[in-house]
C-alpha cells in the first residue's frame, strides 16, 4: 500500500500540472484572440459565409438552376435580393451554392498541399542527406508564379473542378515545405531531441512526439493564410474557364459570366467579386490574429 501511494503521489501531481498548464495556455490563447479585433472580424466574416454556404439548400429562396426569362437581368429587389442573371436565375441562390464550391476548393487545396508540404518539409529538415534534393526541387517550383503553375497543371490534367483543386494544391506546396523545413531545422538541434536520439529513440517517434507538435503553430498560421490564397487562385481558374463548368455556380465563374453584362447588370459581377474579397480578407485577418496569439515573440 505504501509503495502504491508513493507511486500515485509521483504520477498524479504531474498529470494535474500538465492538465492545468494546458488549460491555462488555451485560456491565454482565447484571451489574445478576443483582444485582437482583426481576428474577431475575420472570424465573423468566415462564420457568415461558412454557415450560409452549408445551409444553402435550406435558406436558398429558389432552385439553383431554375430559369425564368421574364425576370432576366433584374436588379436587386425584395424578390431577388441580389438581382438575377441573363437567364433569370437568382444571384443570391447561386452565390450560396457557389460558396460551397469555392470553400470546398480552398479546403481541399490546403489539406492536400499541407499534407504533402509538411511531409516533405519534415523530411528535408530532419534528414539532412535528403535536404538538398527536396529543396532544389522546391526552389524550382517557387520560381513559377502560383497561378501560372496552376494553369499549366490544369492544361496537363484537363479542365474540371477536381483538376483545378489539384492544381491549386500543388502550387501551394512550396510554401509549406519552406516554412516547415525552417522550423524543423531549429527544433532538431534542441537538447531534448538530441537526448532522445542518444538513448536510441527511433526517428519516426521523435518526429511524431517532438517535431510535429512544435511546428504545429506555424503550420496552422500558414494554412489559414493559404486558405484565402487558394480560394482566390481557384476563383481565378474558374474565371478563366479552367475550373467549375456551367451551369454549376462558383464565385469565379459567376464573375466571368457577369463581366459580359457590366453595363446592363453590374450586380452580376459585383456581389460574387465582393464575396471573394471578403472571404480572402477574413482568412487574412484570422491568420494575422493567430500569428500574434501563437507566436511567443509577438507582443
Alpha helices in the chain (DSSP H): 2-35, 37-54, 56-59, 91-126, 128-142, 146-157, 161-187, 191-198, 203-206, 212-214, 216-239, 251-258, 267-294
Is the same domain home to 98 and 17?
no
Residue 154 in any domain: the answer is: yes
> Domain range holding 172?
36-294
Residue 293 is predicted with a pLDDT of 76
* Cell numbers at 239, concatenated: 474565371
Q: To 5 degrees, how large is the angle CA 138–CA 175–CA 45?
A: 160
Residue 299 in any domain: the answer is: no
Is the same domain home to 246 and 288?
yes
Is the same domain home to 157 and 18?
no
- 54-63 contacts at long range (C-beta below 8 A, 24 or more positions apart): 54/100, 56/93, 56/96, 56/97, 56/99, 56/100, 59/96, 60/90, 60/92, 60/93, 60/96, 60/97, 61/90, 61/92, 61/93, 62/89, 62/90, 62/93, 63/93
Which residues 6+ apart lie within 8 Å of 65 measured at CB? 89, 247
pTM for the model stands at 0.83
Q: Which of 188, 163, 178 is nearest to 244 (CA)?
A: 163
Residues in the chain with pLDDT < 70? Answer: 1-26, 29-30, 295-299
Is the same domain home to 48 and 24?
no
Using alpha carbons, list the distances in angstroms from residue 152 to 126, 142, 157, 170. Answer: 32, 14, 9, 11
Mark 42-51 as b/e (b = at least 16 C-beta within 10 Å).
bbebbeebee
- Please say whether the beta carbons of 141 and 174 come within 8 A: yes
* Cell numbers at 247, concatenated: 451551369
CATH code: domain of residue 185: 1.10.3720.10
- Please say whether the beta carbons of 171 and 147 come within 8 A: yes
CB atoms within 10 A of CB 193: 20
Residue 184 is predicted with a pLDDT of 92
> How far is it, in rounded angstroms, from Cα 38 to Cα 23?
24
**What distance lies between CA 233 and its chain's CA centroid?**
12
Is the same domain home to 1 and 80?
no
Residue 221 in any domain: the answer is: yes
Is the same domain home to 52 and 182?
yes
Residue 288 is predicted with a pLDDT of 86
CB atoms within 10 A of CB 7: 10
Residue 120 in any domain: the answer is: yes
Is the same domain home to 74 and 16?
no
Residue 60 in any domain: the answer is: yes
Domains contained in the chain, number: 2
Is the same domain home to 18 and 50?
no
Residue 65 in any domain: the answer is: yes
Is the same domain home to 21 and 97?
no
Residue 23 is predicted with a pLDDT of 60
Is the same domain home to 26 and 43?
no
Is the same domain home to 25 and 41?
no
Is the same domain home to 194 and 225?
yes
Amino acid at each position: 500500500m505504501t509503495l502504491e501511494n508513493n507511486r500515485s503521489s509521483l504520477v498524479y501531481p504531474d498529470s494535474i500540472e500538465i492538465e492545468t498548464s494546458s488549460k491555462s495556455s488555451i485560456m491565454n490563447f482565447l484571451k489574445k484572440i478576443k483582444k485582437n479585433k482583426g481576428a474577431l472580424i475575420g472570424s465573423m466574416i468566415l462564420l457568415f459565409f461558412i454557415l450560409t454556404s452549408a445551409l444553402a439548400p435550406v435558406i436558398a429562396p429558389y432552385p439553383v438552376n431554375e430559369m425564368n426569362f421574364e425576370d432576366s437581368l433584374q436588379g436587386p429587389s425584395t424578390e431577388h435580393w441580389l438581382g438575377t442573371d441573363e437567364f433569370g436565375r437568382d444571384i443570391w441562390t447561386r452565390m450560396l451554392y457557389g460558396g460551397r464550391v469555392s470553400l470546398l476548393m480552398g479546403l481541399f487545396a490546403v489539406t492536400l498541399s499541407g499534407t504533402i508540404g509538411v511531409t516533405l518539409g519534415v523530411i528535408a529538415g530532419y534528414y539532412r542527406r535528403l535536404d538538398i534534393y527536396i529543396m532544389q526541387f522546391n526552389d524550382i517550383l517557387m520560381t513559377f508564379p502560383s497561378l501560372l503553375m496552376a494553369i499549366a497543371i490544369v492544361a496537363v490534367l484537363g479542365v474540371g473542378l477536381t483538376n483545378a483543386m489539384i492544381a491549386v494544391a500543388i502550387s501551394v506546396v512550396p510554401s509549406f515545405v519552406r516554412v516547415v523545413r525552417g522550423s524543423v531545422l531549429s527544433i532538431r538541434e534542441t537538447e531534448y531531441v538530441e537526448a532522445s536520439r542518444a538513448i536510441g529513440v527511433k526517428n519516426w517517434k521523435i518526429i511524431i512526439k517532438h517535431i510535429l507538435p512544435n511546428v504545429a503553430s506555424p503550420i496552422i498560421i500558414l494554412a489559414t493564410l493559404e486558405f484565402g490564397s487558394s480560394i482566390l487562385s481557384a476563383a481565378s481558374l474558374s474565371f478563366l474557364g479552367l475550373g467549375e463548368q456551367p451551369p454549376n455556380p462558383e464565385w469565379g465563374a459567376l464573375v466571368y459570366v457577369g463581366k459580359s453584362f457590366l453595363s446592363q447588370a453590374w450586380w452580376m459581377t459585383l456581389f460574387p467579386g465582393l464575396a471573394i474579397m471578403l472571404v480572402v480578407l477574413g482568412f487574412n485577418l484570422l491568420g494575422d490574429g493567430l500569428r500574434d496569439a501563437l507566436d511567443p515573440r509577438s507582443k
